[in-house]
Amino acid sequence: MGNPLYYILFSLIFGFFQKQSLLLLIFPASFIVLFIFKKRLLISLSITLALLTGVMLSLSKEESILGDGEYVMVQDIKRSLRYDYIATSGKRNFLLKTNFSLFEGDRVFGSFKVKKLSLKNDYEKYLVENKIFCSASPIEIDSVKSVRGVERIRTILINRIKDLYPDDDLNGFLNSLLWGYRKDLNASLKKGFLHSGVIHLIAISGQHTTIVFALLMALLFPLPIPKKVKIILSLLIVLFYGFLTYLNPPVMRAVLFIFIMTVGSLFSRETDSENMLMIAMMLMLVFNRNNFYDEGFMLSFIAVYGLIVTPRLCIPKKKILQLLLSSVVILLLTMPFMMYRFKYISVGSPLFTIILLPLFNIVLPAALISLFIPAAPLKFLVEVVFCLMEKIVYFSEKLPLFFNFTVDTAEFILMFSIVFTAINKKFRMSALFSLSLFLYALFRFSCS
| 168-179 and 349-372 helices, crossing angle to 10° | 90
Instruction: Provide mean pLDDT across the span 400-429.
Output: 79
Whole-angstrom Cα distance, residue 196 to residue 389?
12
- pLDDT the model gives residue 21: 67
Instruction: Provide mean pLDDT across the span 49-78.
Output: 83
Residue 372 backbone phi and psi in degrees, to 5: -110, -25
* Three-state DSSP class for residue 70: strand
Whole-angstrom Cα distance, residue 440 to residue 408?
11
CA distances from 152 to 36, 86, 243 (A): 55, 17, 12
What is 69-147's CATH topology? OB fold (Dihydrolipoamide Acetyltransferase, E2P) (2.40.50)
Q: Average pLDDT, whole number, for the chain?
A: 82
Which residue intervals of the chain bear CATH 2.40.50? 69-147
* Three-state DSSP class for residue 108: strand
- pLDDT the model gives residue 358: 87
Give the pLDDT band (50/70/90) at residue 269.
low
Percentage of the chain surpassing pLDDT 90?
A: 10
* One-letter amino acid for residue 393 of the chain: V
Q: Which of 19-28, 271-280, 298-307 has the lowest mean pLDDT?
A: 19-28
Give the pLDDT band (50/70/90) at residue 147.
low
List pLDDT tens digits, range 417-435: 888 888 877 777 767 777 7
Does residue 20 register a pLDDT over 70? Answer: no
List pLDDT tens digits, range 289-341: 888 887 778 887 888 888 888 887 777 777 777 778 888 888 888 888 888 88
- pLDDT the model gives residue 301: 83
Q: 235-260 in b/e burial notation, b at 16+ Cβ within 10 A?
A: beebeebbbbbbebbbbbbbbbbbeb
Separation of first and last alpha carbons in the chain: 38
Whole-angstrom Cα distance, residue 235 to residue 264?
13
HSE, side-chain direction, 13 A CA sphere, residue 217: 13
Give the pLDDT band (50/70/90) at residue 170.
very high
- pLDDT the model gives residue 347: 82
- pLDDT the model gives residue 415: 85
- Give every CB contact of residue 168 below 8 A, 6+ residues apart in sequence: 184, 186
| 168-179 and 376-396 helices, crossing angle to 10° | 90
User: Do the beta carbons of residue 193 and residue 393 sit within 8 Å?
Assistant: yes
Q: Which of 72-76, 255-259, 260-264 has the lowest mean pLDDT?
A: 260-264
Instruction: Provide mean pLDDT across the span 71-75.
Output: 90
Does residue 60 register a pLDDT over 70? Answer: no
Q: Which of 273-277, 347-351, 360-364, 434-438 has the highest mean pLDDT?
A: 360-364
Does residue 1 register a pLDDT over 60? Answer: no
Does residue 373 register a pLDDT over 90? Answer: no
Give the pLDDT band (50/70/90) at residue 63.
low
Going by their DSSP bridges, the two strands 132-145 and 107-116 should be labelled as antiparallel
- pLDDT the model gives residue 381: 93
* Three-state DSSP class for residue 101: coil
Instruction: Provide mean pLDDT across the span 113-124.
Output: 83
- pLDDT the model gives residue 270: 66
Instruction: Provide mean pLDDT across the span 97-116.
Output: 86
Whole-angstrom Cα distance, residue 274 to residue 5?
10
**Alpha carbon 129 to chain centroid, angstroms:** 16
Percentage of the chain surpassing pLDDT 70?
A: 93
Q: Which of 18-22, 166-170, 193-197, 282-286 has the lowest mean pLDDT?
A: 18-22
CA gyration radius for the chain?
24
**Rounded-to-10 torsion of CA 228, 232, 233, 239:** 160
- Give every CB contact of residue 161 below 8 A, 6+ residues apart in sequence: 171, 174, 175, 178, 367, 371
Does residue 256 register a pLDDT over 80? Answer: no
Q: Which of 43-57, 123-137, 144-158, 243-257 has the highest mean pLDDT?
A: 43-57
Q: Apex CA 77: angle with CA 74 and CA 82, to 5°?
A: 135
Whole-angstrom Cα distance, residue 3 to residue 274?
9
Does residue 384 register a pLDDT over 90? Answer: yes
Largest CA distance in the chain: 74
Q: Which of 67-71, 335-339, 370-374, 400-404 has the lowest mean pLDDT?
A: 400-404
Q: Which of 172-176, 400-404, 440-444 has the lowest mean pLDDT?
A: 440-444
User: Do the beta carbons of residue 205 and residue 257 sit within 8 Å?
Assistant: no
Beta bridge partners of 58: none
Does residue 112 register a pLDDT over 90? Answer: yes
- pLDDT the model gives residue 388: 94
* One-letter amino acid for residue 64 of the chain: S
Instruction: Provide mean pLDDT across the span 68-81.
Output: 86
Cβ burial, residue 392 (10 Å; 0-12/13-18/19+):
middle
Q: Which of 13-22, 62-71, 326-335, 435-444 has the lowest mean pLDDT?
A: 435-444
